[in-house]
A and B are shown apart, each in its own frame.
Chain A
Amino acid sequence: MNRISEHPVLGTFAKGRSVVFRLDGRAMEGCEGEPIAAALRAAGVLVHRQTARRNEPRGVFCAIGRCTDCVMVVDGRPNVRTCVEPLREGMQIQTQYGLGTLRHEGAGS
């Protein structure tokens, strides 16, 4: 997925420096201080978690920190709203399965 570098209305963007973080152990790059969800989207990652009951994929929904669909485990803490949480260098981000990081099969964990 490409980032918009110049927008017809908003112009250009001053982004933070490029930093390395990890998603499920995989090294990735993003801009320091941007929402984690933005860095993930720019890298083509749209699934942030699997729900507890129905084991269904979720990602960004409201994008304004309200709906909590986009939550992931960040530096060991679950339920972090990635659309409002700023990316920091070295962050360990994990796909959230239910309330944690262990994959579960089928409906219910």
Chain B
Amino acid sequence: MATSWDAVIIGAGVNGCAIAYNLAKRGLRVVILDKTDVCAQASGQNGGGVRQSARDPRELPLAMLSVSLFSSLAEELDQDVEYVQAGNLRLCTTSEQETAMRAAVAQQRVDFGLDVRYVDRGELEALNQHLAEWVVGASYCPTDGHANPLLTTYAFARKACELGAELRTGETVTRIRLSRGTVRSVVTDREVYSTGLVINAAGIGGRAVANMVGLDFPMTPVFTEVLVTEAREPMFAQMIGTASSDFYGHQTTHGSFVWGGFVGYETFLHDGHHGGTQRPNYPEVASAICRTVLRYFPGLGELNVIRTWGGLIAQVADKVPVLGPVPEVPGYISATGFSGHGFGIAPAVGRVIGQAVLGETPDVDLSPFTADRFGPVH
């Protein structure tokens, strides 16, 4: 006996839950389905960055909208999400990096009016006293920051449920039934959900879900690791990245440092993920991340690493998500493929997808994110 819904959202990650919240707020009868649990994939293996700088230009409007939404999110969702807006530093160590960074920063200011600038060593030292002597400067975006992705996701989920949404975990979507090319129902291993609207927020499972309605997009899973240190008293609050993109991270509200890195062979690592929660770790990756971080922050050498974890990035070929309705499949809306940077834009994605569902003009134009940008859809 099928139940009837205004919308079915596949995926209880931060974007799925943000969309659910936005739809439930407008009175839609929504159910979120997840094959494991809230926050089980990328949202739960997440660097927590809320960043505008150094994004693909196509994502910048979403990122800027998101930053403004984050500033009042705790109040809106009745839950502290540990949002800290202390800026983002992308560190440079060579004059070539400095030249390139100055140009990139100027471009972002001109094209998007983003508050970002290059800071030289002198100004950098005032912002962060823990840098190695060979860091020559950095790009600095004062309105960037970080938040807790776990609390944010659960906050969206909880608020959505308070507003009438339903959350069903441990339930796997097996089919999306179309009738004359239009969405009619979503079938899981437990029941049938009759609906005219399905939103694909399935993250790492997003491509498989798209395939269920005869769509595809070029997405590959990329395994990446992060290490967590013991908690220490506050040292610095900025989000950190580098011009060479070798590591990123920050010190959380709780005092521990979260450091992720790209050691160069991520695409060749097989994560052995079998749908459960146990993933392997590669000790050489944590070692490499430590070496890289200590090159820039030598004083952190005595900090103890207490955990390493890994996760899968749903990497789309051009590294930006597939967002919005797909005219060829009425009733199907894509909100997936965030390529490792979906957390920071989640509040905005929740809003604009909600607007798209309701037939309103989205606050951000979604045409750069269409499914047909890789070629004809059918």
Contacts and interface: CB of A to CB of B under 8 A. Distances in A.
Interface stretch (B61-69, B173-181, B225-233, B236-244): B225-233
Contacts of B232: 78-79, 99
Interface string A50-94: 000000000000000000000000000111000000000000000
A100 B233 contact: yes
B228 to A, nearest CB: 13
B205 interface: no
Contacts of B75: none
B302 interface: yes
B255 interface: yes
Contacts of A99: 231-233, 255
A44 to B, nearest CB: 29
B233 A79 contact: no
Interface string B212-248: 0000000000000000001111000000000000000
B302 A77 contact: yes
A49 B302 CA distance: 20
B304 interface: yes
Nearest to A76: B302
Query: Interface SS of chain A: helix, strand, loop or mixed?
Result: strand
A98 B302 CA distance: 18
A15 to B, nearest CB: 28
Contact of B230 (A79, A98, A100): A79
B304 A79 contact: yes
Interface in B254-296: 255
Contacts of B304: 79
Interface string A30-49: 00000000000000000000
B130 to A, nearest CB: 15
A44 B220 CA distance: 60
A98 B304 CA distance: 17
A12 B375 CA distance: 81
Nearest to B234: A99
Interface in B294-339: 302, 304
B305 to A, nearest CB: 12
A83 B304 CA distance: 17
A99 B255 CA distance: 8
Contacts of B255: 99
Nearest to B231: A99
A2 to B, nearest CB: 34
A83 to B, nearest CB: 16
A98 B232 CA distance: 9
A97 to B, nearest CB: 10
A79 B305 CA distance: 12
Contacts of A100: 233
Contacts of B230: 78-79
Contacts of A78: 230, 232-233
Contacts of B302: 77
Contacts of B231: 79, 99
A42 B233 CA distance: 30
A79 to B, nearest CB: 5
A78 B231 CA distance: 9
Nearest to A75: B302
A5 B304 CA distance: 35
A100 B230 CA distance: 13
B300 to A, nearest CB: 12
B254 to A, nearest CB: 9
Nearest to A81: B304
Interface string A93-105: 0000011100000
7 contacts: A77-B302, A79-B230, A79-B231, A79-B232, A98-B233, A99-B233, A100-B233
Given A77-B302, A79-B232, 12 more contacts: A78-B230, A78-B232, A78-B233, A79-B230, A79-B231, A79-B304, A98-B233, A99-B231, A99-B232, A99-B233, A99-B255, A100-B233
A-B CB proximity, top 3 nearest: A100-B233, A99-B233, A79-B230
